[in-house]
Amino acid sequence: MDVTFQFDWEAAFASIPFLLKGIPYTLLISFGGLAIGFFIGILFGLLRISPIVWLRVPAIAYIEIFRGTPVLVQVLFIFYGLPQLLGGPINALVAGIAAIAVNSGAYISEIVRGGVQSIERGQREASLSLGLSRTQSFRYIIWPQALRRMIPPLGNQGIISIKDTSLFSVIGVGELVRQGQVYIATTFNALEVYLMVALLYLAITLSLSFALRLLERRGLVGQ
């Protein structure tokens, strides 16, 4: 049996204006969640290396739980499960941002832990011998160097989180994939539309990758 198929480029390009409406939601969820996740990551990353057991153990539990479960399950729990506990509905956009925040926060915690522990112990000891307090040593000596080393993995986590937003169409958030699904329901051009969705995601992630490489060339990240 002969099967003929012709890709409709006109239909593909015609979908772009509609798909672009989803990009603000994609960026808001990803970068909003990452901003919150960064502070969560700093907190739990530092608690993770704390010598105090009752601070370290909860941090380990949080990191392992949210790294060990899919972000799709997490957003479904937040959107459908938490309302039963809170007694009221949760906005889909808020649920998406919260899911990215707690998920990325767990991974960022490990990035923070690795960055801080990568700084030679001798630098801490030297700063203490010069009269700096432990807080001053961390603030002025350890953290600036650790942050530089954390930027590349933080950028990678950002790319992962941007792609993770594609899963949130299941709760009705009007992000890029959801816009594509709505458009396909009226035009039935699934192949053309999903190709454009993929290319738009690629444009976003490549832009972030380019920005990271630019920082590396200027010596603003790394060693």
Average confidence (pLDDT) over 3-25: 86
Q: Is the pLDDT of residue 6 over 80?
A: no
Distance, in Å, from the CA atom of 112 to the CA atom of 135, rounded to the nearest integer, reads 17
Whole domain around residue 58: which residue ranges? 24-173
- Residue 49 falls inside a structural domain: yes
Whole-Å CA distances, 30 to 1, 34, 35, 170, 203? 46, 6, 9, 16, 15
- Residue 221 falls inside a structural domain: no
Q: Contact, 183 vs 193, CB < 8 A?
A: yes
Amino acid 219: pLDDT = 63
Amino acid 141: pLDDT = 86
Task: Provide the CA 220 distance to its chain's centre, in angstroms.
Answer: 21
- Residue 65 falls inside a structural domain: yes
Q: Is the pLDDT of residue 24 over 90?
A: yes
- Residue 183 falls inside a structural domain: no
Distance, in Å, from the CA atom of 32 to the CA atom of 39, rounded to the nearest integer, reads 12
Q: Is the pLDDT of residue 206 over 80?
A: yes
- Residue 128 falls inside a structural domain: yes
- Residue 14 falls inside a structural domain: no
Q: Contact, 71 vs 164, CB < 8 A?
A: yes
- Residue 184 falls inside a structural domain: no
For the stretch 34-78, pLDDT in tens is 999 999 999 999 999 998 999 999 999 999 999 999 999 999 999
For the stretch 84-136, pLDDT in tens is 988 889 999 999 999 999 999 999 999 999 999 998 888 877 887 877 888 88
Amino acid 129: pLDDT = 80
Place of tokens 């672009």: 20
Distance, in Å, from the CA atom of 136 to the CA atom of 128, rounded to the nearest integer, reads 9
Contacts of 107 (CB under 8 A, 6+ apart): 41, 67, 157, 160
Please provide the average confidence, as pLDDT, over all residues in the chain: 90
Place of tokens 């739990």: 44
Q: Is the pLDDT of residue 222 over 80?
A: no
| Number of domains the chain is built from | 1
Percent of the chain scoring above 70 in pLDDT: 96
Average confidence (pLDDT) over 164-184: 92
Q: Contact, 197 vs 180, CB < 8 A?
A: yes
- What is the CATH classification number for the domain harbouring 76? 1.10.3720.10
- Residue 91 falls inside a structural domain: yes
**Rounded (10°) angle between helices 9-20 and 190-217:** 60
Q: Contact, 7 vs 191, CB < 8 A?
A: yes
